[in-house]
Amino acid sequence: MNRLVGGVKQMSARQDDETDVLHKQDVGLVWVLATPTASSSPPARTPTLSSCLSSTLKVRAHTITTETLYFLHERKHLQSLRLDVLSESRLGIDAAYYLQQLLESPSSKEPLLAATGGLPLALASRIEADLRVLEKLHIKPVFVFPGLQPNKKWRQSHHYEYTEACRDRRDAWTKYENGQEDAATKLFDGRHGLSQWDLWRMVLRIFRNRNVEFIIAPYVAWAQLIYLLRHPKAYIHSIYGPTETMLYPGVDKVITQIDFTAATPTFQYASKRSVTQELSVSEDQFLDIGILVGFDQSPPFPPSVHEQALKATVDMVKYYKSGHAAVSAFAEHPAVKTIQYNDHFARTRSMIKCSLVLTSDGAVQPLPLAINNPASGPSGGGGHNQHHPTAADIPNDLHDIFTHRLPDEVYYYLSRGLMGPQALIWLTTGQIIESPPLDNGETNEYKRFVKEVITDGQTGPRATALALISSVLHNFWGKKQVYGYFWFDQPSPHGQKAISHSLPQTTQLAERVTGWNVPYPIVEDELRRQNSSTIDFALCLGATSSDKFAQRTKVKTNAPLEKKDEIVANVIWRFLELRGFLLNTHMHSPLARAMYAALRQARLNDKFQDSLYLFLELVRAGVMHGHLWSNRAFSGGPSFGTGACVYARRVLTALSCHSLCFWPRLSRKLIQKIFLFYIVLCGLSGCALCATFNEPRCVGSRFSHRLLRIRRLGATLDGIDDEKSCMLLVMRVLSIVPLNFTAQPWSAPLSRELLVFNSFVRSLSRSLRTLLEVTTLNMMLRSDARRPRDDILDVSLSLPFQTEVNTGFGVLAKVYLDALTHINNRERVRDPNAEGVKEAKALALEICEETFPGVKTPKLEVERGFRFWDIALMAMRQLHSEGQVLRELIDQFEAAEAWLAPMRPLAVGAEGEEGGENVRVGSFFFLACYRYHGAISESEARECKNGVRGRGTWGDRDAGEDMGRKAD
């Protein structure tokens, strides 16, 4: 197997040598093409790019327009071959392009992702299946992720994109609440808002477990792929990526699609030579056409934006002989002048031809110089050298085309997956662009949270992350202004306020954490003392739980940390101090005491540490409560309370006469109960009648129009009573916990109410994960840890917040509690020992099993969720004992505990065998109406069963039995 050779030059962030062009001289901030002065004290052992590969989305839009794709198909420029023709070769894969195809493919996309939050549930399984196909065919994949974003003078109209996405999601919820599930699913599809780096940790963990080679490019991925292809050692033999890869001179064939799921896997590829010959254009003209047509780094040329854009652009370039001449001819066009397209065209051309790549000797260089470097031997491009400019031809303002230069060591850590690019993008672009969350961010509480708590606050995670990076780089970065741009903010005539990452309070906080350099012997002793095998929050809090233990962690040493475990432990300790959980004395703050006390009572296998930490952060931010957001109730919230809706009962009385013609054996009282349950639950399940059977001509469709005016009944009741407040608080607390899913898309009910709360959790967890990664980078650049190492990815995968949570656990809790309440005659359980309660709980759990086919052991998950409630309540009581929370808030938790305690399920197995038949009664009704969640009592369920399966006359018996078979 070909392997990259050479070392990555390590630059000390604290080096005072005047020859260190990356840190001391202003020229180090631009891309100097001459050979830089070597570091005065290079490390004895440096990591290689070979070890990078072997040690192991903002998801962008399609880079090929529909018209171009049609052109390639129509003119037969897309050729197909069996995948096994690539056997015994190394395939370079543009990772973001591959992930985008998975997210959009009908066989693997998850359309309800925008309604549940979190990450795709079946994506990991699909990736592993594709890797097994490549392994079976002896094809070695090398994945390349894109890194930082090139600088754009032209900015996309984010406001228009946000408006369109928000409109689709808002319409989707309206249709879902009206029972139009198919229409809602189509609108939700593609509006998940995932960036390609949101998927990194999930994907890189797969790569680590399967020893898949990968690298994260400094900027664009296709340029790094071309470098690997052209390298004398031929690290890859072909490229699977977007068609823009062919824009680079000398690149002919690119694989555009691979069908991994076919019985005989195949791939499609395009050839630039055949296209240029048919169009009768030169390679330079082909490049100009590609820029003018538009791709993810370039808007289309305004005068040729219409249905025949490709043909018009080709004709225009051929007429004017070049793209530059064509653009100049339209210089006075209003749209061209508005976005300064002349300048943009020249910049994009330079960006393509001089793209920056990470070379095998650890330097970041323009691609033409990297593949034409005489020191590295002859170019793998063969006869293409005439296409590549020399150093004199490289623009001297690459820092304006890409970004100002960062130390090569930063790009190296990025390339190995130590961190995501978000914080570096914030710093290099001077912008933090905040888009609307999946619930559209319509609440004032979320707007305040994301702006004041997450971004602008002097000790907020984003400002702190920026301070940690800039404090170990050139002084230029410490003075660079970074601004937050929020979708809900209007431009201010007085200018934008900069984020406070350079204020004394923030910079002092970043400097203070350098006091954590606990060596491995102490970490090892703590692992032994606490009987633990994992470096995590519990271990780090246990090691500082008393003054005696905390004193041991105050070690003054200049020796860098060596082992992975001590690096992870010290990163967590530094992180806890940055967030105020640990004091400068290494002792616990009230938050840490609450967390530690709660974790000591938690089961190890429950894995509650990250969730409990997020819970305490949300409590501190003031968004963990049982009140409505902005006095607005969203669908999918609490279904039951002490209040009654007389209007609903009047409508039900009118509906019942219609329903009798379909269910003649059922009593009027039972039918009213059924429909009342559906209407109240419509906030969770849409039009419950149509959503139940998921059929266009279901039983309820004849009078579903009567439900339209009351479809959001549960979401429009004035105020919120005590019982609803209790249930809402429980749902929110449990929704912080990740469910254990099987590898299949979400198919259970949705909750808009929980999606609103999930936006808080998602924003917080992402910003905290970024802070952890930047804390690790800061430690490396300070030389507090050994810098040349081959376990960088292992360090990253050992840090907290590895995944994102969706709304699943909150929905599961709601289904259980709703089902139990309805089985108990629409009264909450007050006495757990009352007659029939045990059987009712077992039946409610059975309903959860049927409602959540994508959840592993729903019964056990319900119990695990309520165990998290226990430790969250314990943490709240600890905070209350120290006067750290308001009386009103602790009263909410205590009231919710009193409300919840009698309703909690028995431990699995405790109910014995009795009642087993009762759990199975009403199978037709509960299976065919899986969204119904058990809204009738046991006897009523039996009556329903007998009405369907008995010998009596049944008005529409065949249809009913048919629906039962479909549900089964």
Contact 868, 608 (CB under 8 A): yes
What is the C-alpha to C-alpha distance for residues 212 and 204, in angstroms, rounded to an integer?
9
Output the six-digit token pair for 190: 């593609």
Q: What are phi and psi of 332, to 5 degrees?
A: -90, 0
Which amino acid does the sequence have at 599? L
Nearest to 391 by CA among 415, 368, 407, 424: 368
Output the six-digit token pair for 668: 């009027």
Nearest to 255 by CA among 350, 134, 126: 134
What is the C-alpha to C-alpha distance for residues 629 and 625, in angstroms, rounded to an integer?
10
What is the C-alpha to C-alpha distance for residues 268 and 257, in angstroms, rounded to an integer?
5
Which amino acid does the sequence have at 450? V
Output the six-digit token pair for 353: 């031809």
Element (H, E) at 423: helix 422-429
The CB density around residue 177, as the number of other CB atoms within 10 Å, is 26
Q: Three-state secondary structure along 330-348?
A: CCCCHHHHHCCHHHHHHHH
Output the six-digit token pair for 961: 């039995």
Return the SS3 of 219.
Answer: coil
Output the six-digit token pair for 378: 């002859």
Report the relative pairing of strands 253-259 and 356-358 from DSSP bridges: unpaired
What is the C-alpha to C-alpha distance for residues 851 and 484, in angstroms, rounded to an integer?
42
What is the C-alpha to C-alpha distance for residues 139 and 91, in angstroms, rounded to an integer?
7
Question: Left, alpha or beta for 443 (phi > 0: left; psi -120 to 50: alpha)?
Answer: beta
Contact 635, 751 (CB under 8 A): yes
The CB density around residue 819, as the number of other CB atoms within 10 Å, is 26
Could you tell me the residue ranges of all domains in the chain?
Answer: 1-13+46-401, 646-716
The span from the first CA to the last CA of the chain, in angstroms, equals: 52
Q: What stretches of 536-664 show up as alpha helix (H) in DSSP?
A: 537-542, 547-552, 564-578, 590-599, 609-621, 646-659
What is the C-alpha to C-alpha distance for residues 88 and 69, in angstroms, rounded to an integer?
30
Q: Three-state secondary structure along 774-799?
A: HHHHHHHHCCCECCCCCCHHHHHHCC
Contact 584, 593 (CB under 8 A): no
Contact 367, 248 (CB under 8 A): yes
User: What are the CB-based long-range contacts (under 8 Å, 24+) for 377-382?
Assistant: 377/232, 378/232, 379/230, 379/232, 380/229, 380/230, 380/231, 380/232, 380/234, 381/230, 381/250
Residue 68: what pLDDT?
60
Output the six-digit token pair for 244: 């823009």
Residue 699: what pLDDT?
28
Return the SS3 of 295.
Answer: strand
Output the six-digit token pair for 75: 């003119």
DSSP string, 848-865: HHHH-TTBS-HHHHHHHH
**Rounded to 5 degrees, what angle do the CA atoms 141, 143, 145 make?**
175
What is the C-alpha to C-alpha distance for residues 666 and 682, in angstroms, rounded to an integer?
22
Query: Which CATH superfamily hosts domain 1-13+46-401?
Result: 5'-nuclease (3.40.50.1010)
Residue 376: what pLDDT?
45
What is the C-alpha to C-alpha distance for residues 289 and 244, in angstroms, rounded to an integer?
11
Q: How far is CA 695 from CA 688, 700, 914, in A?
A: 12, 10, 36
What is the C-alpha to C-alpha distance for residues 385 and 250, in angstroms, rounded to an integer?
8
Contact 441, 447 (CB under 8 A): yes
**Rounded to 5 degrees, what angle do the CA atoms 508, 514, 515 make?**
110
* Residues composing the chain: 968
Residues forming a β-bridge with 356 = 366
CA atoms within 13 A on the CB side of 949: 13
Residue 348: what pLDDT?
92
What is the C-alpha to C-alpha distance for residues 164 and 178, in angstroms, rounded to an integer?
21
Contact 94, 243 (CB under 8 A): no
What is the C-alpha to C-alpha distance for residues 285 and 124, in angstroms, rounded to an integer?
41
Return the SS3 of 200.
Answer: helix
DSSP string, 865-900: HHHHHHHHHHHHHHHHHTT-S-HHHHHHHHHHHHHH
Residue 704: what pLDDT?
32
Which amino acid does the sequence have at 760? F
Which amino acid does the sequence have at 805? V
- The contacts of residue 104 (CB under 8 Å, 6+ apart) are 190
Segments in the chain below pLDDT 50: 1-27, 34-65, 374-385, 642-719, 909-968
By CB neighbour count within 10 A (0-12 exposed, 13-18 middle, 19+ buried), where does 547 fall?
Answer: exposed
